[in-house]
Amino acid sequence: MNKGKTLFAQVMEFVPWKNFSRIVERHNGDSGVRTLSCADIFRVMAFAQLTWRESLRDIEVCLTANQEKLFHMGIKSIPYRSTLSDALNSRDWRIYHALAMRLILKARELYSEEKPLPDLDATIYALDSTTIDLCLSLFDWAPFRTTKAAVKLHTLLDLRGNIPAFIHISDGKMADVNVLDILQIEAGAFYIMDRGYVDYTRLFKIHQLGAFFVTRTKQGMNAHRVYSAPVDRSTGIICDQMVALDGHYARQNYPEHLRRIRFKDPDTGKTLVFMTNNTMLPPLTIAALYKARWQVELFFKWIKQHLKIKRFMGTSENAVKIQIWSAVSTYVLIAIVKKELHLEASLYTLLQILSVSVFEKTLISSALRPVPTQSDEVITAKQLNLFDF
| pTM recorded for the entire structure | 0.83
What pLDDT score was predicted for residue 338? 93
- Residues paired with residue 153 on neighbouring β-strands, in sequence order: 130, 169
Q: Give the pairing type, strands 237-245 and 258-264.
A: antiparallel
- Between CA 195 and CA 59 the distance in angstroms is 41
Find the Cα–Cα–Cα–Cα dihedral 340, 343, 349, 352, rounded to 10°.
-50
DSSP 27: T
In angstroms, the CA 96 to CA 329 distance is: 8
Residues β-bridged to residue 271: 264
Domain boundaries, the chain: 7-96+315-367
Residue 238's CB is within 10 A of a number of other CB atoms, namely 15
Supply φ then ψ for residue 172, to 5 degrees. -70, -15
φ, ψ at 87 (rounded to 5°): -65, -40
8 Å CB contact between 347 and 338: yes
d(Cα 40, Cα 51) in Å, to the nearest integer?
16
- List the chain pLDDT tens, one digit each, 389 residues: 455 788 999 999 999 999 999 999 999 988 888 888 899 999 999 998 888 887 888 888 888 888 887 777 777 777 888 888 888 888 999 999 999 999 999 999 999 888 888 888 899 999 999 888 777 666 777 778 777 788 888 999 999 988 999 999 888 888 999 999 999 999 999 999 999 999 999 999 999 999 999 999 988 889 999 999 999 998 999 999 999 999 889 999 999 999 999 999 888 889 999 999 999 999 999 999 999 998 888 888 877 765 555 556 677 888 888 988 998 999 899 999 999 999 988 887 888 888 888 888 888 888 888 666 554 444 444 444 444 44
Phi, psi of 42 (to 5 degrees): -65, -40
Taking the CB of residue 280, how many other CB atoms lie within 10 A of it?
7
- Distances, alpha carbon 150 to alpha carbons 144, 147, 153, in Å: 6, 10, 10
Phi-psi group of 74: left, alpha or beta (phi > 0 → left; psi -120 to 50 → alpha; rest → beta): left
What local confidence, expressed as pLDDT, does residue 377 receive? 46
DSSP state of 72: H
* Contacts within 8 Å (CB) and 24+ apart, 97-100: 97/321, 97/325, 98/23, 98/26, 98/27, 99/15, 99/19, 99/20, 99/23, 99/42, 99/325, 99/329, 100/167, 100/325, 100/328, 100/329, 100/332
Among the listed residues 162, 171, 108, the one whose alpha carbon sits nearest the alpha carbon of residue 136: 171
Q: Are 260 and 290 in contact (CB under 8 A)?
A: no
Contacts of residues 109-114 at CB distance under 8 Å and 24 or more positions apart, as own/partner, are: 110/161, 110/336, 110/339, 110/340, 111/158, 111/160, 111/161, 111/163, 111/335, 111/339, 112/160, 113/160, 114/160, 114/161
CB 59 within 8 A of CB 36: no
